[in-house]
Each structure stands twice: as C-alpha cells, then as structure tokens.
Chain A
Amino acid sequence: MKIIMVDPSKCTGCRSCEIACSFEKLRECNPSRARIHVISNPITGKNLPIVCQQCRDAPCKAVCPTQALYEDEKTHAIVVNKNKCIGCRQCVMACPFGAIDVYLDIGHSFKCDLCGGDPQCVEACTEHALTFIEETRESRAKNRQVAATFVSSTQFTDTDAADLSDEAYTEWKKVV
C-alpha cells in the first residue's frame, strides 16, 4: 500500500497542499475545505501537515452507524460512500487527528482518499515534505536521512550532505 509520508522538517508552511487538495475535490480554491491541513507555529517556526493516516483499525469506520466508510480495494485508503453517509459526525468525534469533517454545504463526511492513487497534495509539495511511497519504504527513507547526517570521518564529513542527492554529491566531490 502506498501512503503519504510526512516530513515536517521540510514543510515551509506554504499550504500549497491545502489549495491543491481543495481544488482537486471541489474545482474551486478553498483551503478550509481541504482534507489536509498545515498547522504552523510562528513563534517556534515549526510547521506540521496533518492528513488522514488511513488507519488500519480506523476509528471513523468503526463508529459509523451506516457503514458508509470502507477500505478502497485499489488504494486501501478509507473512503466515504456519500450515499450511505448521514452526516452524523460520529467519525469527526472519533478521529484522533481531526482528519475527517462534515460541513453543512458538503452534507456528508469528507476526508483524504489519496485522490484514487495520485494524491494532488504530494504533487503540489515542492519541498518533498509530502511524498507518496510504498509503506515498506517509509522507514528506509528515514534511515537514509539519519545516515546522511551521521558524522563520520570515513563517510560523510559535511552535515549539508543531507541536502544532496547521491549523484550530485559525487559529481561535486570531483571538483572540490
């Protein structure tokens, strides 16, 4: 299953993901209707994108009285059958992330459905704070990030090496 991996350290708080999400789903620009939200703290300078975690034991699915929430066969995302949804907001109460909502004008619950396998928030994120990867790769990606910043006289001697692709670093080393 491919999942949206969030790297908060890369997030610049630009909210392109929110705009892209709302535009994809509603064909208008309204971040308040996005299924991903960035929480920013201007005092610490930290930003955190929060999106549905597509829980394996999803509380929203468990509490739904009409079984309107189900797992999509192809993407394995938890998705809403709006014909079955009665807009009771139990899912909103149950979700620990605030990742699902029911609004008056939409009428049924709405949440991230991974855009059917081509998440637009990921497409819009130019900082690679959001990436769409196989779940088995997420931890390896983090392993590699740590390895790149690991200071060792035999391997990496520059903390900035974390920013470089392998290819670019090799090339530059030839000249410097």
Chain B
Amino acid sequence: MYGWVGKIVRVDFTKKKITTEDLPKDLRDTFIGGRGINSKILYDEVPPNMDPFDPQARVIIGAGPFIGTLVPTACRGTITHKGPFTFAFCDSNFGGYFSPEMKYAGFDHIILQGRSAEPVYLWIDDGTVEIRSAENIWGLDTLTAAQALEKELEDPEIHTMMIGPAGENLVRTACVMVDYWRAAGWAGTGAVFGSKNLKAISVRGTQGIKVADPNRFEAICKKARNMMLHGPRTPLYHRYGRLSNIESLRHRGGDGVENYRIPDMPESGFETFNSENIRQTIYTHREGCFNCPIGCGHCFKVEVDGGEIHASKIEYAPAGDVKALGIYNPKFLARWVYEVNKWGLDTTGTQNVIAFAMECYENGLITDKDTEGIELTFGNEEATLEILYKIVNREGIGDILAEGTNLAAKKIGKGAEKYAMTIKGGRLHLDPRIGWGLMLAHAVASRGADHLKGTPWIEFWDFAAIKDSNLGERLFGHPRAADASTPEGKEYTVKWYQESKGIIDALGFCAGQDSSTSFDYPGHEEMAEMLSALVGKEYTVEDLKIVGERIYNVEQAYNVRCGLRRKDDSIPERFFDKDTPTSENAKIKTVDRKKFESMKDKYYSLRGWDTDAIPTRKRLEELGLHDIADDLDALRKEHV
C-alpha cells in the first residue's frame, strides 16, 4: 500500500486485549484518513449519550496518508473523542514527531477503549504493542515523566504523548503533551486519557512508507517546499514565530482582554507585551516540527527555582491567554507556558475558566472565603498561578473550576452563566466581533468556539478587498464573500474554510503553511497532486472538497445525535449587548441578532441542512452517507 500503512491497532484496557485490524478501503476512499476517518469511527462506535469518561468511550488517534512522507509539514495528527466539556464531537490536532513515528511503527490509527484497573502506558515498538505499568511515572509532571520513560525503555529516540497530573485528576481542560513541548490541547484529551488510567503512549518505528510514483511525488513536494520557504509569511515566522498575531489582532479589535469585557489591551500593556519585546526578553532560538521547512517553534528561557531553563514552544495562543488575564509581562508568559505544559493543561481552556472565575470574583459571585484568600483579580500574576495549581489538584474552588467553564458556572449559580465565554462548552479564543465570517465560523463549529476550523483568514487580508474585487466571487462563489464587514456571502466563505481544514486534517498537513492562511502557500491543487503521486490514484480538487464536506457532515450528524441544534450555534450573550464596549477597530460594533440568525439560515441552506441545523437526507445521499441519513431519519421519527 502507498501512503497509508493500512493498519489500525485497537487497545482494550479493560480486557487487556490488543488487536490489529486492516484499515478498510471504503473508509480510505470516503474519508481519506486522519481526522476524516477518526470522526467516522467516533460516529460509529461511541453512542451519542455516552459519558466522555465512560470506560467504553473511544479515543482515536489518526495519522493521514501524508504523515511521515516527503510532504513538507506532514506531521499533524489528530486525536478524536467525545468532549469532556462539550459532551459532543471533539478533537485536537498536534504536531511534533509522534504521528510519523506511529506510521513507521506500523499504524495509521490507534483506537483506545476500556479502562485499566491500574495506571498504565502503551508501548508501540515497531509493530509490537504492549500495555505496561505506569507505576513509576504516574503522578509525575509531563517533562519528568517523559525523561523517566526514556530511561525505563532504554531508548532516547522514542516519541511520546503524555498526560500530566491535570489529566490524571480528570481536569476537563487537561491536555496531552506530545514530544515534550507540543500539545494536543483543544479537546480536554488529557482528562479522557486519565479516565482510562492511561498515562502515556510511546512509539518507535523503523518501517518505511511507500510511494507510488516517486519522481512525480518528489517534484510536487519540492515545489510545495519552495512555496513555503519563499512565502511572505516565512520571515515573520522566523523572527517572531506566531507572536506577530499580537499586533495584527490588535489592529482588528481582537485583543479580547479580561474575559472579553475589555476590547483592547491598554497602551501601557502593549508597550511591554508586543512581539519584539517578548522576543528580546525570553526568546532563545527556533525549532521545527517534522519535515517543516519553516520552523516556527519559538524556544524560550524561563526562570525556575532561581535558575533559567530552556522551554518551548511559544504559540500565539498562550500569548493571547496571558494578555486575556490582564497580564502584560513577557516573563510571565514564559512562566505560564512552562506551567501549563508541565501540568498538562490546555492554555486557552484554562485561561477561559480562570478569566471566568476572575470576573465572578470581581462581581462578588466568588468570595475570598471560596478562594481561600487568593485575590482572583485580573492582572494578578501570583493569583493566576495559585489558582492554576488549585485547578490541577482539584483543591478547594479548583475542584469546581476543574469542571470547565460551563459546569463551573452551573455549580456557582447566581447568574454566573453570563460570564461563561464558551460556545457549546468549548472555549472562546477570539472576539467574534472581528468580522462576520469569523463570527459565523465560531458559532457553527463542530467542536464549539473553534477559531481554527472555519475562520475565514481572508477576512484579515485587507488587500483581498482592495485589489481584487472579484476575489470573493472567484474563490468562494459570492461577490461579498471576502468582505468581513457584512454578513452577506459568509456562508460561502465559512463552508470553504471548514472543508479546507477538513482536507488538511485528513491528509496530515499543517494548517499554518497552507494557502488558506496565505495564498502563496500550497493549496488544494498542490495537495491533490501530492496525494495522487503518493498513493497512485488520481485525486482532483473536487474529490478533496467532497471529502472535506463529508467530514463536516459526519461531525454535525454526530452532534445532532448528541442533542445539539441550531440554538447551540450561538455566541455568548455579552456580544449582543450594546453596552459591551467594542474595539473601534472591530468590524462589528454590536451584533444585530436578526442579521446573525439570518446569516446562520443562509449557511444551513448552503450546507443542505434544515433550519434546525440537521443535515438533510438529500445532501447526505449526495455525499454517499446513506447510513447517516438513516440514523437522522430515525432520530426525527423519535421526536415526532
């Protein structure tokens, strides 16, 4: 087989059984791989009413056909499971080196099920899979545990995904750390691993991935590589990693400070918290993920125990999170990244619940008695770390906050819900008033409040509107599609970006370096050519787009079965309130509810879904998803 390895390994921790299955051809044909196949397996195997921590709940790790090959940036794997704070479809994408090694070890997908009686880790050694006791590493932070595992397995070349104490304690915003410094952060995967008593997965492989047409493959991979290397974004990545998003977002009214009650970072904050100053204060050097020609991983130094140590990686997200807490100190940014990595917490999910708690505290819904003396005010560095430790260890009020923002709000009551900046339980990372397309993407995203899967990056490119007034029409099929200041045409843009991300995630490509973020980077044409040359079967751009559409429909159908409907496709009430201050740079000042709902209607219509966001039989059959159509019909009958 070319590209794919062709194998799935299924690990049952209850029965202590490991089985290998063939990767079915029809799954590959219909969904390609990675997130695509993951989502279908979730749909098929996890009943919608199942609790995310149920022993039989699945965790599916997937690597698409590109992973581990000559394709530049082909290292992005996906972990899929029912979300511990969304209670619906959820997944998380990650970089580093784990996914290529998983394929070299002989597997495209790993399915985890059951629950181990004692803490264990999984060891995948070139096709041999073993469940081993984690007694030596349970309780250790992610960095210490990763080093201990290398010693235990006598192999410093292993690649590992690891949970920290947060995951062990089922903190719902816990993440999985990959290769020490990368994170599968979004979905609360750490907690799901913890619920299975699974501490880590280590992998080592020496098998190769075959290529159908090596000469054709080599040519297109080299072309893609050069496009990335010479792209306009690259010098920016080299100097700042992704930190330049700070300036860019500030000029679009997207700062989102103090739980989104303040639209812009104060000028005094920006003086210290800007890309160049952060770089001068903490940056050391760059590193890159597997086969990446750009290397945007910014390493930094952090002061720990009176000394300075190396750490990685500063993404924009933690920078956004630190300023969201009202802290504008680059050294604290270093500390924050180090701490969330070490304890195994998602940076944005944790910021979201801390910011929520801070706003509650400042409004008297949480008192000093509740916090045991911690002054939970925005801008308080010490308090931020103290509450973070309480969350990791589920101590005191940390036990409530560890449940994630929505559940914590329910527990606290007294109207705390109005301070929960979430959508479908998923945490908000950007102010939705930046642009109408971004707002729509956030509202309808399958895993909730998602700024990565569907946000039309074109809305941030002013040039698009200035130079090419036909761009919207040409690329997305509507003349106003590229214009962030109007809700018109946004259904076309959001659908395009959602499906584009679906394609990338199914293949294993990195979303930082594809044409949706910069039109000089490789796009669908290049990806179709790479896939065709790799696997020896011709794929067109249209073929890829249909896969992208199928993936999105599977996820939506699953969400519908979980009980999500149109009403859940919303944004926090705060943004509809005309008294909420808006940045003067934001495209939308106050959100007009009618315009918002009408924009959703057009999106559902374009998607071939009904007005309650349920995919119709007609559209599902056009996509070849007959069994899903049957399931949804049955659901409709039940509710009649």
Would you mind naming 30 contact pairs between A and B with Cβ atoms under 8 Å apart? A12-B286, A12-B287, A12-B288, A12-B295, A13-B288, A14-B287, A14-B291, A14-B292, A14-B295, A16-B291, A16-B292, A16-B293, A22-B208, A23-B218, A26-B208, A28-B208, A28-B211, A29-B68, A29-B209, A30-B104, A30-B206, A30-B209, A32-B206, A42-B179, A43-B147, A43-B309, A44-B310, A45-B310, A124-B225, A126-B293
Residues of A1-21 contacting chain B, CB below 8 A: 9, 12-16, 19-20
Nearest first, the 8 A-B pairs at minimum CB distance are A30-B208, A12-B288, A32-B206, A14-B288, A12-B295, A42-B180, A126-B293, A27-B214
B285 interfacial contact with A, CB 8 Å: yes
- Give chain A nearest CB distance to B225 CB in angstroms: 7
Q: Which residues from chain A contact B211 at a C-beta distance below 8 Å?
A: 23, 27-29
Inter-chain contact A29/B180, CB cutoff 8 Å: no
Known contacts A31-B104, A43-B310, A45-B312; A19/B291 CB under 8 A: yes
A75 interfacial contact with B, CB 8 Å: no
A111 interfacial contact with B, CB 8 Å: no
B97 interfacial contact with A, CB 8 Å: yes
Residues of B67-84 contacting chain A, CB below 8 A: 68-70, 72
Rounded to whole angstroms, the CA-CA distance of A150 and B201 in the bound complex is 46
Inter-chain contact A45/B288, CB cutoff 8 Å: no
Encode B199-233 as 1/0 by CB contact (under 8 A) with A.
Answer: 00000011111110010001000000100010000
Q: Which residues from chain A contact B319 at a C-beta distance below 8 Å?
A: none
Rounded to whole angstroms, the CA-CA distance of A11 and B523 in the bound complex is 27
A47 interfacial contact with B, CB 8 Å: yes
Inter-chain contact A23/B70, CB cutoff 8 Å: yes
Seed contacts A32-B104, A42-B181; 4 additional CB < 8 Å A-B pairs: A12-B288, A15-B97, A29-B68, A29-B70
Rounded to whole angstroms, the CA-CA distance of A29 and B70 in the bound complex is 7
Q: Which residues from chain A contact B229 at a C-beta distance below 8 Å?
A: 126
Residue positions of B touching A, CB distance < 8 A: 68-70, 72, 97, 100, 104, 143, 146-147, 179-181, 205-211, 214, 218, 225, 229, 284-295, 297, 299, 309-310, 312
Task: Choose among A16, A20, A43, A47 the residue that contacts B287 (Cβ–Cβ < 8 A).
Answer: A47
With both beta carbons as reference points, the residue of chain A lying nearest to B238 in the complex is identified as A163
With both beta carbons as reference points, the residue of chain A lying nearest to B534 in the complex is identified as A29
Q: Which residues from chain B contact A42 at a C-beta distance below 8 Å?
A: 146, 179-181, 312
Rounded to whole angstroms, the CA-CA distance of A124 and B225 in the bound complex is 9
Inter-chain contact A126/B225, CB cutoff 8 Å: yes
Rounded to whole angstroms, the CA-CA distance of A3 and B284 in the bound complex is 29
- Give chain B nearest CB distance to A107 CB in angstroms: 16
Q: Which residues from chain A contact B181 at a C-beta distance below 8 Å?
A: 42
- Give chain A nearest CB distance to B1 CB in angstroms: 12
- Give chain A nearest CB distance to B559 CB in angstroms: 36
Q: Which residues from chain A contact B309 at a C-beta distance below 8 Å?
A: 43
A118 interfacial contact with B, CB 8 Å: no
Inter-chain contact A29/B69, CB cutoff 8 Å: yes
Inter-chain contact A28/B209, CB cutoff 8 Å: yes
Inter-chain contact A28/B287, CB cutoff 8 Å: no
Inter-chain contact A12/B206, CB cutoff 8 Å: no
With both beta carbons as reference points, the residue of chain A lying nearest to B234 in the complex is identified as A126
Rounded to whole angstroms, the CA-CA distance of A147 and B596 in the bound complex is 60
Rounded to whole angstroms, the CA-CA distance of A14 and B229 in the bound complex is 14
A135 interfacial contact with B, CB 8 Å: no
With both beta carbons as reference points, the residue of chain B lying nearest to A28 in the complex is identified as B208
A127 interfacial contact with B, CB 8 Å: yes
With both beta carbons as reference points, the residue of chain A lying nearest to B2 in the complex is identified as A28
- Give chain A nearest CB distance to B107 CB in angstroms: 15
Q: Which residues from chain B contact A22 at a C-beta distance below 8 Å?
A: 208
Known contacts A27-B211, A30-B104, A126-B225; A20/B70 CB under 8 A: yes
Q: Which residues from chain A contact B209 at a C-beta distance below 8 Å?
A: 28-30
- Give chain B nearest CB distance to A28 CB in angstroms: 4
- Give chain A nearest CB distance to B506 CB in angstroms: 19
